[in-house]
């Protein structure tokens, strides 16, 4: 079975770009446009990675990251419009394994996702 990534973003264009890029690498993609949709998905699914926006319409992604990390050990990667150094530090403090500010290239997104320093071996392309 393919490794599963949960994409959480309220921007449909970003969601489509990331979905197309990551399915092209063979990953199975789950999608949520909000924290509430993400919580519902996580009741039935355990993704190998959560890739999410830090600023969501129904809450703070940083708080949700802490919630996820307190319940299980799913790696979280922020891909966010919040792009200051303070935003990145806050993301790491919340438990993120990586932080990619928008705008970004899909090559950089995949490179950060597959980085040796934080990605479980099962997520690295064989």
Any residues with CB less than 8 A from the CB of 23 and at least 6 apart, and which?
A: 29
User: In this structure, is the dihedral angle defined by the CA atoms of residues 104, 106, 109 and 111, taken in order, positive or negative?
Assistant: negative
Give dist(CA 52, CA 9) in Å, integer: 6
Structure confidence at residue 1 (pLDDT) = 58
Name the percent of the chain lying above pLDDT 70. Answer: 89
Please state which CATH class domain 4-123 belongs to. Answer: alpha beta
- Give the model's confidence band at 113: pLDDT under 50 very low, under 70 low, under 90 confident, else very high: confident
Domain ranges of the chain: 4-123
Res 71 pLDDT > 60 = yes
What's the mean pLDDT when you consider all of the chain?
A: 89
pLDDT for 53 beyond 50: yes
């Amino acid at each position: 079975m393919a490794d599963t990534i949960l994409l959480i973003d309220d921007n449909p264009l970003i969601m489509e770009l990331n979905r197309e890029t990551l399915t092209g690498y063979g990953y199975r993609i789950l999608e949520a446009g909000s924290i509430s949709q993400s919580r519902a998905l996580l009741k039935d699914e355990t993704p190998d990675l959560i890739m999410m926006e830090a600023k969501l319409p129904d809450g703070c992604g940083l708080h949700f990251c802490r919630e996820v990390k307190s319940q299980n050990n799913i790696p979280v990667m922020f891909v966010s419009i919040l792009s200051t150094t303070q935003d990145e530090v806050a993301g790491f403090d919340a438990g993120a394994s990586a932080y990619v500010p928008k705008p970004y290239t899909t090559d950089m997104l995949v490179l950060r996702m597959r980085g040796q320093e934080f990605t479980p071996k099962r997520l690295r392309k064989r």
